[in-house]
Amino acid sequence: MSGVSDERFRILILNGPNLNLLGRREPSVYGAATLADIERDCRVQAEQWGVELDFFQSNHEGVLVDRIGAAYGEEDLIIINPAALTHTSIALRDALLGVGIPVIEVHLSNIYRREPFRHHSYIADIAIGQMSGFGALGYRLAIEAGVYHLKNQGTR
């Protein structure tokens, strides 16, 4: 919201490596929706909640770190599906901590029902909360939860 009181909340949705492949392979794990479908749905949802939306995907950890840095002072909330970087990236964690913007973590699949290496997230304990296992609906739920959080800040 950065200052002016009648500005709308701004939410940044970040997507990590290989999520650009959604809908093309492994539909039994990740669903049939493409990332473009998810973005379209998120934009409808954001409009309904009256928030501004930025939507971004990269296959590169450093590009995601840079995008998080650029969000400082611009975005009120970050929703992130870090994809495989969930389980490996201290750099993403540090970037999110560095900007101090509230975070919601999203996963299409239920990472706790999958291989043990997917059970640990470097983001979970610095996030407000996590949606895992609801497919593309998780993004929509995260927007609703994010708006709720922004309107009730301090009640985490």
Angle at 15 (CA atoms; ends 31, 38), nearest 5 degrees: 45
Nearer to ligand CA2, 102 or 135 (CB): 135
Binding of ligand CA2 by 109 (CB under 6 A): yes
Angle at 7 (CA atoms; ends 151, 14), nearest 5 degrees: 70
Binding mask 27-56 for ligand CA2 (x = CB under 6 A): ---x--------------------------
Q: Which of 60, 72, 107, 120 is catalytic?
A: 107
- Coarse DSSP helix, strand, coil percentages of the chain, rounded to the nearest 5 percent: 45, 15, 40
- Annotation says 107 is catalytic: yes
Q: From CA 110, how far away is CA 107, in angstroms rounded?
A: 7
Q: From CA 120, how far away is CA 111, in angstroms rounded?
A: 9
Binding of ligand CA2 by 21 (CB under 6 A): yes
Q: From CA 110, how far away is CA 89, in angstroms rounded?
A: 19
Nearer to ligand CA2, 84 or 127 (CB): 84
Contact with ligand CA2 (CB under 6 A) among 11, 12, 79, 83: 83
Q: Which residues form the interface with ligand CA2 (CB under 6 A)?
A: 18-19, 21-22, 25-26, 30, 81, 83-84, 86, 107-109, 111, 118
